Structure 1
Amino acid sequence: MAAVLGLLPIASSFASPTATPANPRLSQEALTAQVDAASLAKYREIVATFDTAIRVHPGDATLALARCQFMQNYSWSEDLHWTEQAQADLGACQHALKDKFGDLPEVALYVLQSTYGKAAIEQGSALEPKAAHWARPDRARLHAALANAYEATQDKRNAGKHAVQAAELSPDTPVLLLAVRHLAATGEKARARQLLMDAPVPKLPWLANARINTAHDVLPGTTARDLLLRMQKAGLKIDPYTSARALLQAGDAAGALRALPEIKPDAPESAQSRALRLTVALAAGDGNAAASAIRSSLEHETNNRWPLAQSYAVLLTIDPRAAMHPAFAVLMLTLLLAGLSIALLPGLLMFPVHYVGTVRARKARPTLAVFEGIGLRHAWYGLAVFCLATWAIPVFMIGQIVPARPGATPDLQELPSRLAIAHVVTLGIVSLLLSGTVRKFGWRQWPGYGEWKVRWFLWPGLLLTIAALSAWVVARHATPGAADSPLWNEILVHGAKQLGGPWFALLMVAVAVPIVEEFVFRGCLLGGLTRHMSFAAANLWQAVIFASVHFDARHFLFFVVFGATTGWLARKTHGLAVPIVIHAINNAIFVTMVLSR
């Protein structure tokens, strides 16, 4: 309206026969001043109309509220030069409105939504007792305003609490996604899903995309895909990358691949989109699509070699012919160098050990090896085989499908089972490659020999008791589905359960893993180290390495203590049977805790 009024003098100026470029009336400042003057005059005219109507109907709260809302439209403008006057008018209008109609819900909520920060929290909290008698939509608006106020002050807990209340009162509340994230973070994922599914379909596609992406990020299973299908059925156009993420999370890799748009020559694509395209192609087993995505990433991302090398490893197992493209030579070299480094690193660790052994021999201070027939080369070989297999097999079977950063949420619903399969293969290959060393080890040293004493088992028993109590506390007080990302060994337990049930999980994690790990770390590593250094140093060294290969910073100290304890038992009993049993009991406690959560 104001713009139309402002254009009338301009039009007449151009129509004037005396109008020339040199005419001062045609300068930008003069024209802008005419627009401002015309719009201000019309603004005042409309305000006067409101004032006249209010004098006739002094008790009409809706009319008084509309007057303030009209002023607010101009008090926030960045284009007009008279916004300060509109702001002054708005302040006076809101003050009068609050004094006269402050008890009415629509007025109280309007004033609250114009307040921010701690002042909004105080004002909104004071309204809560009165709101008990308000209509549901008004109560929802109150809780939504409080949720936004708490969110602005970084109080996530209260923000989420009020957002949930708003969503339960009005499913299409603007703070719906805040409520969903809060419920998911506190373990109430079923309730969060229900809120999303109960909410009316939004009219705007970007709102639908936001809901699907939120479901993907915080809710497991098929919620994101179910929302996607619902939005598509309503006729909304969903972003193809959002569609692909939702379908991939639900396990429909083929559908996710179909959802992605074709790559057009020279078409811009973000690094995140390229990574998604690659993950989808690998999950769908489409070698050509995966190869194309890897080539595209190589062209655009020069500092992303290692994750791409992991993906390339999976491509080698999917489509070896596609993987032989010359552009992938650098990735193949990266894998070869990584594997070589992992295989040689244990050997480098043995050099200082050999030096210590040489010095001790010259000083006539020989050491007593824990196990006969096991030397430093067996220590290197056992550790090299274990580290190389536990790295290479998951990389070639899973690759970049597994998130590379801690805390990331896997996209594939079947990731746990795939990780469990990779672990079974790893255990089998490690056992096969170490079969010769097992024969060298000798069967007599598996059960152990000599006289055992009860007091040797007091500390191990106490350590297992502490582990059991800790697991019980965690299982009892942990919130199911909490925001903390699960450890990989937790995902492994769930994957083993998916493959063969709880008993298979116990068999793999509490039987097979202890046997392999005890032979590698206490049999080969500790046995080899003790030929060249004191038992105390050798035991500490193998315990630290044992803890390091578990990649669990939260429980690193426990792994060190546990590894040192089982190493000490191996020496005392002259065998691996007792360490294996202790290890098996500890892992059984862990499996039971994970499956009971």
Structure 2
Amino acid sequence: MDTRAALRALCASAALFIGLAQAAGSPPDFAAAEAGRAIAKVEEATQHAYDEALAALDAATKQAPGDIGLAVSRCRFLQFYGDPEGVRWISGAEDALASCTQQLRERWPNAPQVALFEMETLFGEEAATRGEALLKVADQWPAPPRRELLSQTSMGHEFNDNPERAGELALMAVRMGDVSRTGAAAQYLVNQKKLDEAADLLAKAAPSENPMDVAGRVKAALALPDPKAGLAELRRKPELMEYVDHEVAARAYLRAGDFASAQRVLKNVCIKCEATRSLKFEAAMGARDYAGAAKLVDLTDRPNFAGHLSRFATLAMAAPLTLVSPTMLPGLAICLAWLLLLLLAPGVVLVPAHYRGLARRLKGKVSEPMFPAIGLKRAWYGAAVALIVPMVVLMLVRPEAMADLFSGNAAASAQMFRAFLIAEITALVFVVPALVGMTRRQFLGDRTALRTWWIVLLMWGALIALGWVLAVVQTWMGVNLETAQTRMVAAMVEGGEELGGPMLTLLILALIGPVFEEVVFRGLMLGGLSRHISFGWANALQALGFAAMHDDPPRFLYYFAMGLFGGWLVKRTGSLAPTIALHVLNNAVAVGVLLGVG
């Protein structure tokens, strides 16, 4: 370093030291005083600029007194500074705004521009109500203000939690050229299952400058068949991506197979939120980050047990070695304990029945078995199959379905229906060995069984009457008739229709299911119990188990009656055919009604 440079550095250091010393020696209120003067200066400049702008607007309106647009612009300017709760509030602007608005009403009471300006001050229900009233008289409005009215009314309904009407009006606005409501319009079409129209609308729409609309477009695109549609919408306006919800953006990346980007987006998002945790798990699984996925499993989290169980099963199937990880070991122990409990559960009924049978035989009372080949061991086996096999198969085929079972929030899908179909068929195959020794007559019946067709119809009519009475009484009492069981059946019907149509839906829900349940309850359970206790008790116990298995409290008596009727038919005919016919008829009508409603 030369001499001049050294001297310059020394002088600069000295000046800095002197400046700091002077600042330290200033009065304590020096900084506050300077800040106050600066604020006052800015406020003075703001007031001066406001006065100049208002004077210019006043001069313009005097020169063109009939210009509605200019008059509205003056009021809108005052509105910007007239909000007492706003950051840019200026004294006097609020009173000036009230006067300006009153002048608009008096001079142009029916002008679209005035009506739209007044709507800008409304929100939610008020905006929706005012907009709907204007729509009734806006048929003769020019296209631009009518389009704006549709858009504003749509937003009012959206904030008033009326998405269907909001989407309907948004679609009308978009078809008139409004780009800002494309997301809401596309979501409306998606909800109406008009996916092709929604895809076409998004593809032809110009890019939006509205952050809310960009987010809405991405969300709507996620429901389209094209897995990359959401990502395409996300990338149309890169500068607005920060306004898109992190979870929505992550779903777009996940659907497109970009798991690394999904992990990046979710990195600092709430880990304790169940929805976010599921997305992080999906991203980790897609990226084959099994160690990271294992950290998102916690079966001790009781409020979110269903979601953790689904993640546990998914990870266990994909990477069995993770079962020894600290977070997975408790899950493994819980699952094994749960399976053991299900295996032993039939003993609660069957073990007492065995000892009751011993006591009856000591007194010389010998029960007449329904089916000589069926005993308590086979009854236990059949009940264990019914409790365990479907659950294990679902865990292997589609772990997500386990969350539906535990949460009761079944989502209709062809994949879920396929999983349940496999589970039912597998369970039916597993139960077949317990039926060895039963005769053809005990399955298909004979002429005696055929002659009971009128009894089957009579019992079916009684069940319908009972179901109607229960529904009327419980509705009158305010009982919620929707349960996890009814939601699951509705989802299964919709998923089956999506996968293979009505016939496949009827096959699984109205044939395979009833055959399996009748074999287990009226065949194995009733057959095993009737060897040891009286028919009355055996029939009541199997019917009780049948009703409990359906987990549908409002219709418990209905299922119990069906179980009793089925047991009585077996007793009368010595065959499973009539009770299977009753069950199939019942389920076929129920599924038919749901298919018709859908």
Q: Please say whether Structure 1 and Structure 2 have the same fold, judged by a TM-score greater than 0.5.
A: yes
Query: Does the 8 Å contact 1:408/1:485 carry over to 2?
Result: no
Number of the residue aligned with 2:262 = 260
Number of the residue aligned with 2:5 = none
Number of the residue aligned with 1:139 = 146
Using the TM superposition, give the Cα deviation of residue 274 of structure 1 relative to its aligned residue in structure 2, in angstroms. 3.3
Number of the residue aligned with 1:6 = none
Separation of aligned partners in 2, 1:129 and 1:263? 45
Using the TM superposition, give the Cα deviation of residue 523 of structure 1 relative to its aligned residue in structure 2, in angstroms. 0.8
After TM superposition, list the pairs within 5 Å mapping 1:93-132 onto structure 2. Answer: 93-116=100-123, 120=127, 123-132=130-139
Separation of aligned partners in 1, 2:159 and 2:78? 25
Query: Does the 8 Å contact 2:254/2:283 carry over to 1?
Result: yes
Using the TM superposition, give the Cα deviation of residue 520 of structure 1 relative to its aligned residue in structure 2, in angstroms. 0.4
Q: After alignment, is 422-431 or 76-85 more displaced? A: 76-85
Using the TM superposition, give the Cα deviation of residue 75 of structure 1 relative to its aligned residue in structure 2, in angstroms. 1.8
Taking structure 1 as reference, are residues 406 and 40 closer, same or farther at Cα in structure 2, changes over 3 Å only?
Answer: farther
Number of the residue aligned with 1:420 = 418
Taking structure 1 as reference, are residues 110 and 521 closer, same or farther at Cα in structure 2, changes over 3 Å only?
Answer: same
Separation of aligned partners in 2, 1:299 and 1:350? 32
Number of the residue aligned with 2:545 = 545
Query: Does the 8 Å contact 2:250/2:265 carry over to 1?
Result: no
Match of 2:219 among 189, 213, 218: 213
Number of the residue aligned with 2:436 = 439
Separation of aligned partners in 2, 1:367 and 1:426? 33
The residue type equivalent to 2:312 in the other structure is Y
Query: Does the 8 Å contact 1:294/1:308 carry over to 2?
Result: no
Query: Does the 8 Å contact 1:490/1:594 carry over to 2?
Result: yes
Separation of aligned partners in 2, 1:104 and 1:497? 52
Query: Does the 8 Å contact 2:278/2:307 carry over to 1?
Result: no
Secondary structure of 2:134's aligned partner: helix
Query: Does the 8 Å contact 2:346/2:380 carry over to 1?
Result: yes
The residue type equivalent to 1:261 in the other structure is Q
Match of 1:57 among 45, 64, 67: 64
Separation of aligned partners in 2, 1:554 and 1:162? 40
After TM superposition, list the pairs within 5 Å mapping 1:497-516 onto structure 2. Answer: 505-516=505-516
Taking structure 1 as reference, are residues 551 and 152 closer, same or farther at Cα in structure 2, changes over 3 Å only?
Answer: same
Number of the residue aligned with 2:11 = none
Using the TM superposition, give the Cα deviation of residue 385 of structure 1 relative to its aligned residue in structure 2, in angstroms. 1.4
Using the TM superposition, give the Cα deviation of residue 389 of structure 1 relative to its aligned residue in structure 2, in angstroms. 0.7
Query: Does the 8 Å contact 1:519/1:576 carry over to 2?
Result: yes
The residue type equivalent to 2:442 in the other structure is Q
1:1-28 Cα shifts (integer Å, max 9, x gaps): xxxxxxxxxxxxxxxxxx9654698165
Number of the residue aligned with 2:477 = none
Match of 2:281 among 258, 271, 278: 278
Query: Does the 8 Å contact 2:297/2:327 carry over to 1?
Result: no
Taking structure 1 as reference, are residues 204 and 120 closer, same or farther at Cα in structure 2, changes over 3 Å only?
Answer: closer
Number of the residue aligned with 1:388 = 388
Using the TM superposition, give the Cα deviation of residue 524 of structure 1 relative to its aligned residue in structure 2, in angstroms. 1.5
Taking structure 1 as reference, are residues 281 and 548 closer, same or farther at Cα in structure 2, changes over 3 Å only?
Answer: farther
Query: Does the 8 Å contact 1:36/1:81 carry over to 2?
Result: no
The residue type equivalent to 1:98 in the other structure is R
Match of 1:201 among 204, 207, 211: 207
Query: Does the 8 Å contact 2:218/2:252 carry over to 1?
Result: yes
1:84-121 Cα shifts (integer Å, max 9, x gaps): 63222111111112222333322221112223466545
Separation of aligned partners in 1, 2:87 and 2:491? 59
The residue type equivalent to 2:522 in the other structure is R
Using the TM superposition, give the Cα deviation of residue 494 of structure 1 relative to its aligned residue in structure 2, in angstroms. 6.3
Query: Does the 8 Å contact 1:124/1:146 carry over to 2?
Result: yes
The residue type equivalent to 1:580 in the other structure is I
Q: Does 1:520 align with 2:520?
A: yes
Number of the residue aligned with 1:457 = 456
1:112-168 Cα shifts (integer Å, max 9, x gaps): 222346654554344334421223332122123333444555566654544443344
Using the TM superposition, give the Cα deviation of residue 324 of structure 1 relative to its aligned residue in structure 2, in angstroms. 4.2
Q: After alignment, is 566-575 or 42-51 more displaced? A: 42-51
After TM superposition, list the pairs within 5 Å mapping 1:170-319 onto structure 2. Answer: 170-174=177-181, 176-182=182-188, 185=191, 195-203=201-209, 207-216=213-222, 219=223, 221-222=224-225, 225-232=228-235, 242=248, 245-246=251-252, 255-257=257-259, 259-261=261-263, 270=271, 271=273, 272-279=275-282, 288-298=288-298, 304=304, 307-319=307-319
Separation of aligned partners in 1, 2:28 and 2:495? 79
Gaps of 5+ in 1: 1-18, 470-483
Separation of aligned partners in 2, 1:539 and 1:300? 39
Separation of aligned partners in 2, 1:82 and 1:507? 69
Query: Does the 8 Å contact 2:127/2:153 carry over to 1?
Result: yes
The residue type equivalent to 1:55 in the other structure is K
Secondary structure of 1:124's aligned partner: helix
The residue type equivalent to 1:275 in the other structure is S
Query: Does the 8 Å contact 2:539/2:564 carry over to 1?
Result: yes
Separation of aligned partners in 2, 1:71 and 1:226? 43
Secondary structure of 2:328's aligned partner: helix
Using the TM superposition, give the Cα deviation of residue 33 of structure 1 relative to its aligned residue in structure 2, in angstroms. 4.6
Using the TM superposition, give the Cα deviation of residue 308 of structure 1 relative to its aligned residue in structure 2, in angstroms. 2.9
Separation of aligned partners in 1, 2:236 and 2:327? 42
Separation of aligned partners in 2, 1:93 and 1:485? 61
Taking structure 1 as reference, are residues 540 and 195 closer, same or farther at Cα in structure 2, changes over 3 Å only?
Answer: farther
Q: Which has the higher contact order (CA 8 A, sep 6+)?
A: 1
Query: Does the 8 Å contact 1:143/1:163 carry over to 2?
Result: yes
Separation of aligned partners in 2, 1:118 and 1:574? 66
Using the TM superposition, give the Cα deviation of residue 333 of structure 1 relative to its aligned residue in structure 2, in angstroms. 0.9
Separation of aligned partners in 1, 2:108 and 2:424? 73
Separation of aligned partners in 2, 1:28 and 1:408? 61
Separation of aligned partners in 2, 1:386 and 1:423? 14
1:260-289 Cα shifts (integer Å, max 9, x gaps): 33699x96663433312323565x5x7x43
Taking structure 1 as reference, are residues 402 and 229 closer, same or farther at Cα in structure 2, changes over 3 Å only?
Answer: farther
Query: Does the 8 Å contact 1:146/1:162 carry over to 2?
Result: yes
1:213-268 Cα shifts (integer Å, max 9, x gaps): 2454xx4x51674243354366677578545524766xx6xx2535533699x966
Separation of aligned partners in 2, 1:559 and 1:359? 31
Secondary structure of 2:92's aligned partner: helix
Aligned residues: 548
Taking structure 1 as reference, are residues 89 and 550 closer, same or farther at Cα in structure 2, changes over 3 Å only?
Answer: same
Using the TM superposition, give the Cα deviation of residue 388 of structure 1 relative to its aligned residue in structure 2, in angstroms. 0.5
Taking structure 1 as reference, are residues 149 and 585 closer, same or farther at Cα in structure 2, changes over 3 Å only?
Answer: same
Query: Does the 8 Å contact 1:547/1:559 carry over to 2?
Result: yes
Using the TM superposition, give the Cα deviation of residue 443 of structure 1 relative to its aligned residue in structure 2, in angstroms. 4.3
Superposed CA RMSD: 4.4
How does the TM-score come out when normalised to structure 1?
Answer: 0.75
Separation of aligned partners in 2, 1:299 and 1:532? 41
Query: Does the 8 Å contact 1:168/1:195 carry over to 2?
Result: no
Separation of aligned partners in 2, 1:192 and 1:536? 60
Query: Does the 8 Å contact 2:183/2:215 carry over to 1?
Result: no
Taking structure 1 as reference, are residues 200 and 330 closer, same or farther at Cα in structure 2, changes over 3 Å only?
Answer: same
Number of the residue aligned with 2:333 = 333
The residue type equivalent to 2:329 in the other structure is A
Using the TM superposition, give the Cα deviation of residue 55 of structure 1 relative to its aligned residue in structure 2, in angstroms. 2.2
